[in-house]
Chain A
Amino acid sequence: MSDDNKDTAGGQEPREEDAREGGARRERIVGTPSPAKEKALLAEDDISAPAGVGEQLDEASMKRAERVVATLFLVAFASSVTFIAYFIGWSGRDGGMHGVLRARESNFWLGGTMALSFLALAAGVTIWVRRLMTSKPIVQERHELVSDEESRAAFARDFMEGAEDSGITKRPLLRRTLLLAAAPLGLAPLVLLRDLGPLPEKRLRHTYWGEAVRRAQQEGKKGVRLVVDGTHRPLRVSDFATPGSMITVLPEGVEEHVPEDEVLTQNAKAVTILINVPADQFKPAKGRENWHVNGIVAYSKVCTHVGCPAALYEQTTHHILCPCHQSTFDATDAAKVIFGPAARPLPQLPLSVEDGYIIATSDYHEPVGPSFWERG
């Protein structure tokens, strides 16, 4: 510390003798005292709670507050009335609310007036509490929650007396047979739930492709045609000849041969993606050399992770990506997993050609979709 410092500081700021410190330690204040006179680091509690019992609020400001609150209540009233008026008067015109535009209009007016009404009321009540209620904080005792020793002992005595009176402590035979009787009664409701659904059996092991191929073979054909999901048009090899193509397909005949309420259920397992991988990049797996038609290959669209449609195909990288959890499969290499939470490749559907049409020659050789305990 040098004198220079002291001087520069002193040159700019007023100096002041601090009287309170007393004569023993004469120190001088340097610099401007902080405006924080309250000495508070934390602006905390209760500084402005009303100070004493019966203290009156300022009458003029109360009147002002009263007017503000009343105005807010009137706003709430007006907007509720608008809500009703709009509903009765306008929303029913031209045969009522139908379609997007009128839905938008009515949502705007009904919702807007309702929100305004609630918020105005809320603000009014809040101002009322804050400005007009004089109730001051009060203190209450917290009581011990635990019961006193005496009542606990008395209860224990009563309880044991009752038990002895009933004889349950003395007659084990009664006790045990009662328990025995209760056990099956408790199980009965569980038994009742048995008919919630069928047993799994082999349901999860096959798809409608098997059924469809069987039907086609009975008609003397080699296999079932693939139809485009949404248009039901069977696909020829020549239709699907552009490398990089992708489309979602189903077995032909689902709509005709399956009861209407089961169509979705069958489609949910049978849904398949058909991809045209450039023939020079396709690596058929062992034993599946003849499952593709010149690079046209079909995989189950049901992800082996938890069953979302794994449908996102990138023709440059040949990735099949499931948009739900990002399991990624390689379309050129038997749909092996490249990344993500799936553990198994997508099942592949054996394809062939008949009369120029792409056909499936059998069901999937393994269960489609997520793994399960009995899958093996």
Chain B
Amino acid sequence: MSDTTAPKAIEGTLGFIDERLGSTTFFRRNVKKVFPDHWSFMLGEIALYSFVILLLTGTFLTLWFQPSMKEVVYDGSYTKLQGVKMSEAYASTLHISFDVRGGLLMRQIHHWAAILFMASILAHMLRVFFTGAYRKPRELNWLIGINMFMIGMLEGLFGYSLPDDLLSGTGLRITQGVLESIPLVGTYGYMFLFGGEFPGQDIIPRLYVLHILLIPGLILGLVTAHMMIMWHQKHTAMPVKNQSEKQVYGYPFYPVFMAKTGAYFLFTFGVTALLGAFAQINPIWLFGPYDPGAISSGSQPDWYMGVLEGALRIMPGWEISAWGHTVSFNVLIPATLPLGIVFGGAMAWPFIEAWITGDKRQHHVNTRPRNAPVRTATGIAAVTFYGLLWLAGANDVLAERFHVSLFATTWFFRVTVILGPIVAFIITKRICLGLQRRDADVIGHGVESGVIMMSPEGGFSERHEAPREEEKIVLLSKENARPEAPARDARGVPAPGAKGPIGHLRSRLSRAWTFDDIPVEEHGHGEHEAIESGSDSQVKH
């Protein structure tokens, strides 16, 4: 505390840079930048740090990997494949695994980091969705995030295909089949991607350059934009004490947040290293080289492609042939519709929500999921839809492990993928409203103190006490539904937002958004009113 000047080495460096860039103003402004604290805010960091791991380990792997489909006869040190014909890509992957020291470790860390990268993006996305952190002004970052996930799917698929083992070759074969099904241009796309017929000689080198150059560059750009926007807009905060739309409360960037995020960086490295050391992933030597006539049961893609796989599996065999042309809905629909619904819907959601609620304000404090029941229920419905398709992608493993009929699992998923989201929506909404009711109860009525009172008349009652201040702030963070603007004003002129069929739809949706809202507010001492109005709406619906 006594010595406030920095050591000479740092002072000198900073001075050197400042004289040339004027950077100290920037540092001065940002060194104490506030970062609100919550464990779920770190999910996105996993993705950032796994991306760093992917770049580092990926660079290591390129030093030995040969992206070539030239056929060679293996004579390396994995005895079971000696004398087998395979592509150079596969042989060099075996070489990395068995003849380069640390090569297997790097391969495994690379693959685990890829799995964590995608998983953490999804987890981060769910956190952002359910807390409403995508709302104005953060729609751009929401869109960037979704695009990163979709590009990440491609990047993962391409990387998974590079070793040219039987499993990845099967994945490519399916990719080819899906590509071929596109009306009008399908066969052209197929020929142009593979440089001729499947598998040809060109696909691995082409995927390689996409995998190590183009797509990582794209992701790097998007990550940078994502971080800069986040930095500029400041992170959202949970609705707790001291947080408001006007101010943010938390730890300064330097030194606390820096140390925390540094620790998390190390944790991410540690966990991927732990998995790489002790959990085997993608043992391509067991899968064998790609061979178009061979196949294994339980051929699955990595988890993030599981949704597509599941959709392909449960789709009935619909195909139309007319006027000399064929359209395979059995491939087209599962390849486009589910992801279109989930990710297209997610991208449009912030704008749809703002349109329905008419809320054009900026939001920096997150919503508790229960306080936006329609949003939360929609999210859970989407998760159910995605999750069921994902499970359907493993239906053969499920059938085998639990000894049920394979066709029965298919039918189960065909039905639940439609019904499941609806049921999930209804249940989730009920749960949210129930929790709202409890919150209203706590605010209006107090917390059960566990103290039983006996009145002079002999009746028993439990004494309720006012909730703690911190808790009250959390509960009162709920924004109660505002009374809807009347569709027509006093003179009978329709309100601007409610004109025409679109406006009509908007006001109906708006009503659906809030009609069963349960106000959580303080009533002074007339606490029973709040409870009563709560139970009123319960009875009504």
* Chain A contact residues, CB within 8 Å of chain B: 1, 3, 6, 18, 21, 25-36, 38-42, 44-47, 87, 91-92, 96-100, 103, 106-108, 110-112, 114-115, 117-119, 121-122, 125-126, 128-129, 133, 135, 137-142, 144-145, 193, 196-200, 203-204, 229, 248, 250, 260-261, 264-265, 267-269, 271, 301, 305-309, 311-312, 323-328, 337, 339-344, 369-376
Contacts and interface: CB of A to CB of B under 8 A. Distances in A.
B270 interface: yes
Which residue, of A133, A264, A343, has the highest number of chain B Cβ atoms within 10 A?
Answer: A264
A275 to B, nearest CB: 15
Nearest to B245: A142
Contact of A46 (B100, B241, B364): B241
Contacts of A33: 449-451
A303 to B, nearest CB: 8
A292 to B, nearest CB: 21
Given A30-B453, A103-B104, A140-B247, A39 B188 contact: no
Interface residues of B, number: 138
Contacts of B291: 264, 267
Given A6-B454, A264-B199, A307-B173, A99 B247 contact: no
Contacts of B299: 308, 323-324
A73 to B, nearest CB: 11
Contacts of A46: 240-242, 470
A34 B291 CA distance: 70
B269 A309 contact: no
A308 B126 CA distance: 34
B14 interface: no
A372 B187 contact: yes
Interface of B: 32-34, 37, 69-71, 77-79, 97-102, 104-105, 108-109, 137, 170, 173-174, 176-178, 180-188, 190-202, 232-234, 240-242, 245-252, 255-256, 259-260, 262-264, 266-267, 269-271, 273-274, 276-278, 290-299, 309, 312-319, 321, 324-328, 330-331, 334, 362, 364, 395-396, 406-407, 410, 442, 447-456, 458-461, 463, 465-468, 470-471, 474
A42 B325 contact: no
B240 A203 contact: no
A87 B79 CA distance: 24
A323 B197 contact: no
Contacts of A323: 295-299, 396
A325 B245 contact: no
B242 A139 contact: yes
A107 to B, nearest CB: 5
Nearest to B76: A98
Contact of B319 (A31, A248, A343): A343
B452 A373 contact: no
Contacts of B465: 39
B474 A196 contact: no
A371 B181 contact: yes
A311 B407 CA distance: 17
A135 B255 contact: yes
Contacts of A271: 292-293
Contact of B105 (A18, A107, A306, A328): A107
A340 B317 contact: yes
Leading 7 A-B pairs by shortest Cβ distance: A111-B277, A34-B450, A306-B177, A118-B270, A343-B319, A268-B292, A122-B266
Prevailing SS type, chain A contact patch: loop
A114 B105 contact: yes
Given A137-B242, A199-B191, A268-B197, A306 B471 contact: no
A22 B350 CA distance: 54
B122 to A, nearest CB: 23
A108 B277 contact: yes
B319 A139 contact: no
Contacts of B295: 308-309, 311, 323-324
Give the residue among B185, B273, B314 with the most A Cβ atoms within 10 A. B273
Nearest to B100: A97
B71 A309 contact: no
A128 B259 contact: yes
B266 A118 contact: yes
Contact of B249 (A119, A139, A145, A374): A139
Given A98-B99, A306-B174, A308-B170, A374 B187 contact: yes
A242 to B, nearest CB: 21
Contact of A139 (B170, B248, B468): B248
A269 B190 CA distance: 15
18 contacts: A27-B461, A97-B98, A114-B273, A121-B270, A125-B263, A126-B267, A137-B34, A264-B71, A264-B292, A265-B197, A268-B197, A309-B292, A341-B316, A341-B334, A371-B331, A373-B325, A373-B326, A375-B321
Given A268-B199, A343-B330, A45 B240 contact: yes
B451 A29 contact: yes
Contacts of B325: 373-376
B305 to A, nearest CB: 12
A307 B174 CA distance: 6
A141 B246 contact: yes
